[in-house]
């Protein structure tokens, strides 16, 4: 984005909203594109798109072809063995909870102490704060959240993790420990799953499992 903006400015062209017309991963051979890792990638891309103020971005694509797992569709097209048509892939669940727990305004956030953790913060006009965190590493991380001009009350969160079905590239995603009823995908009742919740006494400490994402909303005390 920095390069694009500087190139446009250097050419004396007025800057307009920048669109990213297609995005996904394109690794092949280990079912990477239908894995929880692609879901983590989706969460990271959405956060960075917001940070870099893209005007529009389009994910590539809704449904495609199985190709022995080399399938960048967000939903199964009906040719994946043991999976019904239109079953959501892990990337869908990550994007669903990103939208569900994202506030109305992005606010600045910083991470110290771990190069494996990324965080994206937001606020809601209704008063809550939203925090989305990704642990890209292969070991668990315990984090402590500090807020400016905000006193946390009750916190609600979802934890998304992969399974142990395909090495580093699990085709499953578990939401608060609840997984799919089929050989891939996520929980069928994702839209009605209750978030974990707790009342904050002092500060907010969050356990981030390896290769996981946490989606959180915090009430103002």
In percent, how much of the chain has pLDDT > 90? Answer: 90
Question: pLDDT tens digit string along 99-139?
Answer: 999 999 999 999 999 999 999 999 999 999 999 999 999 99
Give me the mean pLDDT over the 80-109 stretch: 97
Q: Assess whether the previous peptide bond of 55 is cis (omega < 30° from 0).
A: no
Provide the token pair at 20.
């990213």
Count of CB atoms situated within 10 Å of the CB of 9 = 11
Give the model's pLDDT for residue 201: 78
Half-sphere exposure in the Cβ direction for 90 (13 Å, CA): 35
- Residue 204 predicted with pLDDT over 90: no
Q: How high is the pLDDT of residue 84?
A: 97
pLDDT of the residue at 158: 98
**Exposure string (b/e) for 164-201, b if CB count within 10 Å is 16 or more?**
eebeebbbbbbbeeebbebebbbbeebeeeebeeeebe
């Amino acid at each position: 984005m920095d390069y694009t903006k500087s190139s446009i400015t250097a050419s004396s062209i007025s800057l307009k909203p920048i669109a990213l017309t297609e995005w996904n991963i394109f690794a092949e051979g280990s079912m990477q594109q239908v894995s929880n890792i692609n879901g983590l990638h989706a969460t990271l891309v959405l956060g960075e798109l917001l940070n870099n103020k893209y005007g529009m971005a389009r994910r590539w694509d809704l449904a495609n072809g199985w190709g022995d797992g080399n399938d960048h569709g967000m939903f199964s097209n009906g040719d994946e063995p043991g999976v019904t048509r239109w079953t959501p892939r892990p990337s869908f669940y990550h994007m669903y909870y990103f939208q569900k727990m994202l506030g109305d305004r992005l606010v600045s956030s910083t991470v110290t102490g771990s190069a494996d953790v990324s965080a994206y913060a937001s606020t809601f006009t209704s008063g809550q704060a939203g925090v989305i965190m990704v642990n890209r590493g292969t070991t668990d991380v315990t984090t402590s959240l500090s807020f400016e001009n905000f006193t946390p009350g009750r916190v609600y969160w979802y934890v998304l993790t992969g399974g142990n079905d395909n090495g580093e590239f699990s085709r499953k995603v578990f939401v608060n420990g609840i997984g799919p009823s089929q050989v891939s995908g996520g929980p069928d009742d994702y839209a009605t799953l209750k978030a974990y919740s707790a009342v904050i006494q002092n500060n907010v400490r969050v356990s981030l499992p390896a290769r996981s994402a946490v989606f959180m909303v915090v009430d103002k005390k």
